[in-house]
Amino acid sequence: MKTAASEKMAFDSGYSKVNQLKMYYEIHGQGKPLVLIHGGGSTIQSNFAKVIPLFAKNRQLIAVELQAHGRTNDRNTDLSFEQDADDIATLLKNLNIDKADFFGFSNGATTTLQIAIRHPKIVEKIVLGSVLAKRSGVPGWFWNFMGQAKLENMPEQLKTAYKQVAADTSGLQIMHDKDVKRMVNFKDIPNKQIESIKAPALIIIGDKDIITPEHAIELHRQIPNSELAIIPGGHGEYIGEITTIKPDFKESDLSISLIEKFLNKKEE
């Protein structure tokens, strides 16, 4: 593990042996653990750079990079949300973290659902940012787009973010293709599994998100102990995801206080 300085805050980073991966992780701040799980095609920084310094004031953040993403290597298997969930559970065991809160964004939120389903004993609360659990949760055009996705159409900010951190930048094509294949083959999470989630959940989407408001409301009704927030803005704008940053960006526009209020609330 090594210590680095980022935005005037020191943090630790390292690699852990996880199910044939050398999984990269960062630990920022101190306090109750909050695991940050990025979306498809992303790195820790491209999803969470704007919010890490804010959350780390009151929390110990464990930010991860999943199979074939960022600094974590690939293995000879397709990507799956279930495997990502198992990888994160193994990483936390390696780090001697018995229980944590989880904040997943986009594909990372679907992984967070799988953690709550498959590893409930390690979960306190979950924050589901722009989460997809059913194919009907996005407009039809999304699946047509995924069916013909090409690397050249991937947002430049995400390609740059990957190249800035990956040891071998030729892995960009592999990450892209595996992410696309996973989405093309996306299967609905069964209702019984969603309804079995006991952890308190906060579901967040933007009102101009790829995820439909109807899907977020459906999940809110299915997860017994859940809250729902629909925030003005696009996919990930509420956390300052890199492709949403505009020239007039302000930290005060981020949904940190909403998330912290949920995470800090005492359960009755």
Predicted local distance difference test score (pLDDT) of residue 7: 47
CATH architecture for residues 2-263 = 3-Layer(aba) Sandwich (3.40)
Q: Tokens for 211, please give them.
A: 């995820």
Query: Strand 100-105 vs strand 32-37: parallel, antiparallel, or unpaired?
Result: parallel
Token readout for 113 is 């659902």
User: CB-side exposure of 80: number of CA atoms within 13 Å?
Assistant: 10
CB 57 within 8 A of CB 149: no
Reading the block at residue 128, the tokens are 């589901």
How long is the chain? 268
Element (H, E) at 248: none
Q: What is the pLDDT of residue 266?
A: 87
Q: How distant, in Å, are the alpha carbons of 60, 189, 259 from that of 227?
A: 23, 19, 11
pLDDT in tens for each of the 268 residues of the chain? 665 544 456 789 999 999 999 999 999 999 999 999 999 999 999 999 999 999 999 999 999 999 999 999 999 999 999 999 999 999 999 999 999 999 999 999 999 999 999 999 999 999 999 999 999 999 999 999 999 999 999 999 999 999 999 999 999 999 999 999 999 999 999 999 999 999 999 999 999 999 999 999 999 999 999 999 999 999 999 999 999 999 999 999 999 999 999 999 987 5
Q: Give bridge partners of residue 101 from the DSSP assignment.
A: 34
What beta strand segments (E) does the chain contain? 2-6, 9-18, 21-28, 32-37, 59-64, 100-105, 123-129, 201-206, 226-231
Separation of CA 102 from chain center: 9
Give the phi and the psi of residue 102 in degrees, each rounded to 5.
-130, 135
